[in-house]
Structure 1
C-alpha cells in the first residue's frame, strides 16, 4: 500500500461498557485496532489507509488497496486511577432514628490495571472495483479493582470487562474519486462486577455476564487528487442483551444469584477525517472529528432485578490532529494530539473515573522488506481531576427491625493511561 501512494494511511465502543461501573473509565473509547493510528492519536484514521487496519475505522478505505494486505498486532494498556481527598461517611438508622455516625478517609493510590488488546485485519481486492476484508480485535480489555478491605467497597469494588469484535466488510470504487464501503460486526463481551459493604464483606451487587450483538458500519472516501482525500464513516451499535448471574441486594425477590438479563444500549459513532500530503514535501497532515452517542446510557436495567444503576451520560466528541514525516525509504515518523470530551455529565463515580482527556502520541514505521513493515505506537492519556459525590441512602441491615445504613462518599478522582503497541503489516 505504501508503494501505491505516498498518501499513507471503534467499532463498537460501547462494548467497553458491559456495566456502567465497569472498567478504567466507561466513556473511555479504546482505539486498539491500529498501531499506526496509536502513534498519531488516531488523527485521519478514517481515510489514511496505510495498512489493513484502516478497514476497522472506515470500510471504504479498502478500495485504496491494490494488493492483498495483512496487519496483526497488539496494544498494551496501563490504566492509573487515583482517589484523593476522599471522605467516607456512614449513618446507621433504626426505626427512622439516627443511632450512629462516623467518617473516615477513603483515599486510594492505584485502582488501575494492565491489559492486552490484540488485533488482526485482512483485505483482499477482487478487481479494480471491489474489495472485501475480515478482521478481529478486542475493543477493550481492562480491570479496575480496589482491595477487598477498601472501606468504600459499595463504590469501588472490582470491575473487569473484555470485548471482542469480528467484522466482515466490502468496498466498491464508484469512480476515480469516490468509493463506498459497508460492513457487519459481531460483538461479544464478558464482564464481572462486585460491590460489597465493608468491613462485613456483605454482598450488594455481583454480576458475571456474557452477551453478543450485531452492528453495522458504513463509509465513504473522496479522493480530491493524489495528495488530498477525505473520509466519512458511521457505525451503528446494537442494544446488547447480556445474560448471567446477578446477585443484587436491591432486588427483593429470592436471595442469592439469579439468572438475569442485563440490557445495554451501545453508542453509535460518526467520524470525519482528512489527509493532506504537502506538495513537494515529506510531510503529511491529517485530522479527525468523531461523535460518540454516549447519551443512550440513561440507566442500567436488568429484566428481573430492575434498575441496577443510573448514569445519565452525555454524547462525546474526539478532536484529533497529527503529522507524518517520511524520513526515508525505511523510516516513517508520526505524532498526534487528541482531545476527548467526557461521557459523564452530572453523575460521577470513583469506579468510573471519567473526565475530559488529552492524548499525546508518537510512533514510527520501519520497512522490513519491500512488502512488509513494523509499526510502533505510544500514547499517554492525561485525565483531569473530577469531583465525585456518591451516596446510597438506604442499605438494609435488618429489614424486620427497620435498621438500615446510609453512606456517602466525597472525593476527587483522577485517571491517566499509557498505551504501547506493535503491529506487523504485509502486502501480497
Structure 2
C-alpha cells in the first residue's frame, strides 16, 4: 500500500502479526494464555481478564477497574506430507528423418520423498486494555491476530507447483465500547482494522524429451516461475456482542464478527499474465465471519464449567483472485468448533483450568498440501498464579492432534497433469504466557 495511513499501521503493528494457524482453515484462535488453558471454552463470557476483548466486547461491563493483559503463544507445529506422487507434465518432441517436427504431451508419475517441518514454529502476541467509564459503560482497545498460515517447501521439492511458499499474516487493531442496559443484559461492539500481508510463490516444471527418427537423444526438466506474490492490504471489520447474567453464578454470551475481503496491493505475477500481457498489482483475499455462543456456570463454590460453540463462515473463502485471473480455487465450507472446559479456584493464589475442543476443518472436496488441514482435537490445561490482588500470571498448554488427509490436488480438473496425490498430517504443541493487571 502507498498511503501514509498504511505505512503508519505497518510500523505500529509488526509485533502483533501472526503467521501460523492451528485452527481450522487459517483461523488463529490463540488469543490468550487463559483461553488456551481451557481450549477456548467459554471465551465469549468468562471475562477473567482483559483478553475477553478478542471474543466479546459486551463483557467489558463486568470490569470495575482498568484492566490490561499482554501475552504471547508459541506454536510448534508438526506437519508432514508423505506417500506422495507427482504427475509431471511431459512433452515429447520428435524429428523424423523425413518430415516435420512433431510434439506430443503426456505425463510421468514421480514418487516424492516424505517431508516434514514445512510449517515453522511461530510466536503469536496479543495486547488488551479495558477502561470502565462508569458503572454502565466501558471502552477498550486490542491488538491480536485472527488469521494466519505459513508453509514453505524446499526449492528442490518434487512438486514445485503445489509446494513453494504460502504465507498469510494478519493483525487486528480493535476499538470497542460496551453498555450495561440493566443488571442482567449488556451489549457491546467495535471496529476492527485488519492489516494483512500475503506471500505466495510457486514454480512449474515440464519434462521435455527429444528423439530423432524415433531414437531418443535426451531429455531435460525445465522449471519456470508460475506465481510470485507479495502484497499488503487493509480492511475494516466490525463486531457486536451481548452478555446475559442470570445471576452471579450463571451467564451466557454471544458475539458476531464481520470480516471483510482484503484488497491487497503489491507485486503480483501470475504465469497466464505472461500470455495476456497483464501483470497485476492487486489480489483479493476473502475472510470469514465468526459467531460464538458461550456459557459459564459455577457448579460449586470453587468449580465452574464453561463451553462454546463457534461458527466460522469459511464458505466465503471461495477463490483467490487478481484483477484478471483466478489464482487458486478452494471452495471451503462453513465449519464449527465445539469446546468444553472446567475451572477450579483452588485458593486465593492458584486457579486451575482444563478443556477439550473438537475443531472441524472447512476443507471440502478440494484438498491442498500447501494448507494441510483436517478435523482436530485440542487437549488443554493451564493455571493462573495471582501474584497479588491486582496482578496475575497465566500459563496455558495444548496438545493438538490432527488426522490423516488423502490429498488429490490439481491445476485443472480435466487434465491429468500437473497433479499430486499425498497424505498430509498436522499435530502441534502450543504454550502461552500472559501477564494481567488491574488498577
Q: TM-score, normalised by structure 2?
A: 0.86
* 1:182-221 equivalences in 2 (<5 Å): 182-198=189-205, 200-221=222-243
How far residue 81 of structure 1 moved from its aligned partner, in angstroms, is 1.1
Q: Is 1:342 the counterpart of 2:340 in the alignment?
A: no
1:141-160 C-alpha deviation (Å, 9 max, x unpaired): 55311111001111111112
Change (3 A) 1:299 1:16: farther
From the CA coordinates, give the structure whose radius of gyration is larger: 2
Partner of 2:270: 248
| Partner SS state of residue 139, structure 1 | coil
* Conserved 8 A contact 1:73-1:118: yes
Judge conservation of contact 1:164–1:187 (CA < 8 Å) in 2.
yes
**Structure 1 residues 233-267: Cα deviation after superposition (integer angstroms, max 9, x where no partner):** 01111121011111111224466x94421122211
Gaps spanning 5+ residues in structure 1: where? 1-14, 395-403
Question: Aligned to 1:30, what secondary structure does the other structure show?
Answer: coil
Secondary structure at 1:53 match in 2: helix
1:302 equivalenced with 2:300 (yes/no):
no
Distance 2:172 2:186 in 1: 24
Q: Does 1:228 align with 2:250?
A: yes
1:62 aligns with one of 53, 60, 63: 60
Equivalent residue number for residue 436 of structure 2? 425
Classify 1:162/1:183 alpha carbon distance in 2 versus 1 (closer, same or farther; 3 Å): same
Deviation of 1:85 after TM superposition, in Å, equals 1.1
Instruction: Note closer, same or farther for the CA distance 1:254–1:407 as it changes in structure 2 (3 Å cut).
Output: closer
1:124 maps to which residue? 131
In 1: Cα distance, 2:45 partner to 2:87 partner: 52
RMSD of the alignment, in Å? 2.3
1:32–1:129 Cα change, 3 Å: same
Shift of 1:108: 1.3
Contact 2:18/2:123, CA 8 A, preserved across alignment: no
Q: Distance in 2 between matches of 1:96 and 1:292?
A: 49
Work out the CA distance in 2 between the residues paired with 1:348 and 1:143. 16
Instruction: Identify if the C-alpha distance between structure 1 residues 88 and 130 changes in structure 2 by more than 3 Å, giving closer, same or farther.
Output: same
In 1: Cα distance, 2:147 partner to 2:369 partner:
19
Give the corresponding residue for 2:95. none
- Measure how far apart 1:89 and its partner are: 2.1
Structure 1 residues 22-75: Cα deviation after superposition (integer angstroms, max 9, x where no partner):
977871422222110010000000000000010110000000000100000111
Moved over 4 A (4+): 15-18, 22-26, 198-201
Aligned to 2:308: 288
2:51 match: secondary structure = helix
**Deviation at residue 78 of structure 1 after TM alignment:** 1.6
Gaps of at least 5 residues in structure 2 are 1-15, 93-101, 206-220
Match of 2:175 in 1: 168
Query: Higher mean Cα deviation, 288-297 or 243-252?
Result: 243-252
Question: Shift in Å at residue 322 of structure 1?
Answer: 0.3
What's the counterpart of residue 10 of structure 1? none
Query: Cα gap change, 1:419/1:344 in structure 2, threshold over 3 Å: closer, same or farther?
Result: same
- Aligned equivalents of 1:142 and 1:323: distance in 2? 30
Tell me how far apart the structure 2 counterparts of residues 34 and 242 of structure 1 sit (CA, whole Å). Answer: 28
Name the CA distance, whole Å, in 2 between partners of 1:427 and 1:160: 37
Q: Report what 1:260 is aligned to.
A: 281
| Secondary structure of residue in 1 paired with 2:315 | helix
Note if 1:111 corresponds to 2:133: no
Count residues with an aligned counterpart.
399
Match of 1:322, SS?
strand
Distance 1:419 1:308 in 2: 32
Cα gap change, 1:25/1:368 in structure 2, threshold over 3 Å: closer, same or farther?
closer
Relative to structure 1, the CA distance from residue 190 to residue 349 in structure 2 (aligned partners, 3 Å threshold; closer, same or farther) is: same
Distance 1:393 1:345, change over 3 A: closer
Relative to the length of structure 1, the TM-score reads 0.88
Distance of 1:312 and 1:201 partners within structure 2: 29
Structure 1: how far apart are the matches of 2:412 and 2:331?
19
Aligned pairs for 1:19-168 within 5 A = 27-93=25-91, 97-98=104-105, 101-140=108-147, 142-168=149-175
In the alignment, which residue of structure 2 is the partner of 1:401?
none
Q: Match for residue 4 of structure 1?
A: none
Partners of 2:107 and 2:341 lie apart in 1 by 57
Shift of 1:182: 0.7
1: CA distance between counterparts of 2:298 and 2:24? 36
**1:391 counterpart (401, 410, 414):** 410
Q: Shift of the alpha carbon at 1:405?
A: 9.8
Which segment drifts farther, 349-358 or 196-205? 196-205
